[in-house]
Amino acid sequence: MPKALPLALHGLHFFYRFLSPGLPGLAVRLMWQTFRPRRRPLRAEQSQLLAGAELFSFTSAGALTSKTIRLQGYRWGTGPRTVLLVHGWEGNPADFRELVPGLLRQGYAVAAFDLPAHGRSEGAETNLVEMKQALVDYTHFAGQPYAVVAHSLGGTAAALLLQDAAAPVEKFVFVASPLSAPDAFEMVFTQLQVPQSVRRRFYQRLARHLRQPVEDIAFAPVERLRAHRLLAVYDATDERVVFERVQLYLAANAAIEPLVVSGVGHNRLLRHAPVVQRITDFIEA
């Protein structure tokens, strides 16, 4: 998150810093609502990319509920090998608009879909467990892709997919991805100055909802990720990830090729020309 607190969050910041210790139940309920994704309107250039895609849809059976939802997919090109793009929280497939043309020129088919509760897909809320399940259901529908390129929490969900995949993908690129569910939450908690007591209550409720400890939802060591080659892309100044943890993870998993830049930004990484070129070259190599 940026250093300057967005205007819309000033009220939450005041509440969590000064009032939430005396109202922990309300604080947790409010935080639960804060982490529901908002469907953001598309910009003109994003709409243009999606308008040129072949549409498809498939269903995903809720990992935590018995509810089945329809997910909206997009496909470009007809190449024999498919690169699957996975957007991040409150993102959409058009976030990859700078990357798609290069992959198509290299002869790949490119596929993406709106994650649950995003874009034109169904659902009112989602989480990493449901996002992973959507990726599992995509592979059942379309088959295992040749490569996966994923941004932010989409990369975390894709890593969870690859830990349990029946067959490996050839390439996996994760861009600005938190290494665990707590890492993603803690960046927001720190910015809003949420007291530790409220954080503990939130994690307890979330663990009950997810039916597993929250800290277990994390990147595995590289030997457990079913991908032949991996590329990690980060901005060292990105305040939406815990970069110190990223450095430790990459040092302990030397088989992952790193690309670290500075001063680009969490979302702008996907539009930064040197990053786009490196990802394109990595997929083609």
Tell me the pLDDT tens digit for each residue of 67-80.
899 999 999 999 99
Packing angle of the helix pair 196-210, 181-192 (nearest 10 deg): 150
* CB-CB neighbours of 225 under 10 Å: 23
Instruction: Give the residue ranges of DSSP H helices in 40-94.
Output: 44-51
Task: Please provide the average confidence, as pLDDT, over all residues in the chain.
Answer: 91
Mean per-residue pLDDT, 222-232: 97
Q: Is the pLDDT of residue 209 over 70?
A: yes
Nearest to 59 by CA among 120, 138, 161: 138
User: Looking at the DSSP assignment, which residues form a beta bridge with residue 58?
Assistant: 71
**Which pLDDT band holds residue 4 (cuts at 50, 70, 90)?**
very low
Q: Is the pLDDT of residue 5 over 60?
A: no
CATH 3.40.50.1820 segments of the chain: 46-179+219-284
Nearest to 73 by CA among 35, 116, 37: 116
Instruction: Identify the DSSP state of 17.
Output: I
Return the CATH class of domain 46-179+219-284.
alpha beta
Mean per-residue pLDDT, 7-27: 61
For residues 110 and 81, is the Cβ–Cβ distance under 8 A? no
Distance CA 107, CA 110 (A): 9
**pLDDT (0 to 100) of residue 117:** 95
Per the listing, tokens 């959507």 go with 134
* CB-CB neighbours of 36 under 10 Å: 12
**Which pLDDT band holds residue 36 (cuts at 50, 70, 90)?**
confident
Mean per-residue pLDDT, 89-115: 97
Mean per-residue pLDDT, 96-109: 97
Mean per-residue pLDDT, 250-275: 97
**pLDDT (0 to 100) of residue 16:** 65
